């Protein structure tokens, strides 16, 4: 909606010889398959679909859709803008690159495997973010000690305190709770502490210990972190989970999807209560008897809620375990 083009009148800027820049569109496309959140990538080394904004594109969003579909043959559903940033090309080039990143939600098509693109579980990139089976060992075993060591590795005591506090806050140390939304803050701390491969680029890393999580091209992993954080925040107040669900589903399937995204478990009964009392779904009439238990009713998303309260809420009960 923000993407609507309103003709610009005379520019009010003082100069008009504005610098020529190029604009790139980058997509974080998410799907959840078998209870695992996955991200759409292209090429071998793990890169997000992207491409330059071109004259033929009607709007930024449609340009993005065009690129994703061209590179992956995968149509996009829900799309929202994430963040815009600028990189100076590294050789002190006269060219400035502006990247506009987007979050997209779809369902992974079962068909077509392709060499040009693929889906990867997002916890491959962020293994410390999955707390569904409890605190992942990588945290207490590797990351926490190294982060604390990094925090202490500075002379200025106030800066040391600041680092400790940021680490403790972002990673839920001491008595603090784990906050699943702080994906970006955690990644940035790890980057600062040179605990992700991307931070070591250009440095000599021979003989250094392996760093956790699969790296990505350029700053794509940071962008992915931004997308995950946004999605984890958003599912709490907007009915976007349904973009990731098939047309009909059981409440447990819905719950598993939410848990996959949030990286933590929720209380089953309370989850159902919340979903039902918000009238987000309606029964299809069918029932599912697969998973070896009492058959579950199947539901579908009540499309009407989008119109009724485009902004209302999908609250989620988030528990420890």
Binding to its own copies, residues 76-115 (CB under 8 A): 81, 83-90, 94, 96-98, 100
Which residue lies nearer to DNA by CB, 25 or 265?
Answer: 265
Residue 144 to residues 135, 149, 229, Cα–Cα distance (Å): 12, 8, 20
Stretch that binds its own copies, among 7-15, 122-130, 269-277, 295-303 (CB under 8 A): 7-15
The correct pick among 185, 205, 270, 284 for binding its own copies (CB under 8 A) is: 185
Report the C-alpha gap between 68 and 97 in whole angstroms: 19
Which residue lies nearer to DNA by CB, 120 or 297?
Answer: 297
Beta bridge partners of 43: none
Stretch that binds its own copies, among 104-112, 142-150, 183-191, 252-260 (CB under 8 A): 183-191
Total residues at interface with its own copies (CB under 8 A):
73
Which residue lies nearer to DNA by CB, 206 or 289?
Answer: 289
Could you tell which of its own copies, DNA, none binds residue 62, using a CB distance below 5 to 8 A set by kind?
none
Q: Which helix (H) or strand (E) holds 117?
A: strand 117-121
Stretch that binds DNA, among 138-146, 189-197, 218-226, 248-256 (CB under 7 A): 248-256
Write the Ramachandran bin of 207: left for phi over 0, alpha for psi from -120 to 50, otherwise beta.
left
Q: Please enumerate in sequence order all residues whose Cβ is within 8 A of that of 234, keeping only pairs 6 or more positions apart, or say none.
A: 240
| Footprint of its own copies on 25-64 (CB under 8 A) | 42-43, 47, 50-55, 59-60
191 neighbors 222 (Cβ within 8 angstroms): yes
243 neighbors 73 (Cβ within 8 angstroms): no
Closest CA to 316 of 282, 272, 281, 279: 272
CB of 57 to its own copies, least distance (A): 8
Q: Does 22 bind its own copies (CB under 8 A)?
A: yes
């Amino acid at each position: 909606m923000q993407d609507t083009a309103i003709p610009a009148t005379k520019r009010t800027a003082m100069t008009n010889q504005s610098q020529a820049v190029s604009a790139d569109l980058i997509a974080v496309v998410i799907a959840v398959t078998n209870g695992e959140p996955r991200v759409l990538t292209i090429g071998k080394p793990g890169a997000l679909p992207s491409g330059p904004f071109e004259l033929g594109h009607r709007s930024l969003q449609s340009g993005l859709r065009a690129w994703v579909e061209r590179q992956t043959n995968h149509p996009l559903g829900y799309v929202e803008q994430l963040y815009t940033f600028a990189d100076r090309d590294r050789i002190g080039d006269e060219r400035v690159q502006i990247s506009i990143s987007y979050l997209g939600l779809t369902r992974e098509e079962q068909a077509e495997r392709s060499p040009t693109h693929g889906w990867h579980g997002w916890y491959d990139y962020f293994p410390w973010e999955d707390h569904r089976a409890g605190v992942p060992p990588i945290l207490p075993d590797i990351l926490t000690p190294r982060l604390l060591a990094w925090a202490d590795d500075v002379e200025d005591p106030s800066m040391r305190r600041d680092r400790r506090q940021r680490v403790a806050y972002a990673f839920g140390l001491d008595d603090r709770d784990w906050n699943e939304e702080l994906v970006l803050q955690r990644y940035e701390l790890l980057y600062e502490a040179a605990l992700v491969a991307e931070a070591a680029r250009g440095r000599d890393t021979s003989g250094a210990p392996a760093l956790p999580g699969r790296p990505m091209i350029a700053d794509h992993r940071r962008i992915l972190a931004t997308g995950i954080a946004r999605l984890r925040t958003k599912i709490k107040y907007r009915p976007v989970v349904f973009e990731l669900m098939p047309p009909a589903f059981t409440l447990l399937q819905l719950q598993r999807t939410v848990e996959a995204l949030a990286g933590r478990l929720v209380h089953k009964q309370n989850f159902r209560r919340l979903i039902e009392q918000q009238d987000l779904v309606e029964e299809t009439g069918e029932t599912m008897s697969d998973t070896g238990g009492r058959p579950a009713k199947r539901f579908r998303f009540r499309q009407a809620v989008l119109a009724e309260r485009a902004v209302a809420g999908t609250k989620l009960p988030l528990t420890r375990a």
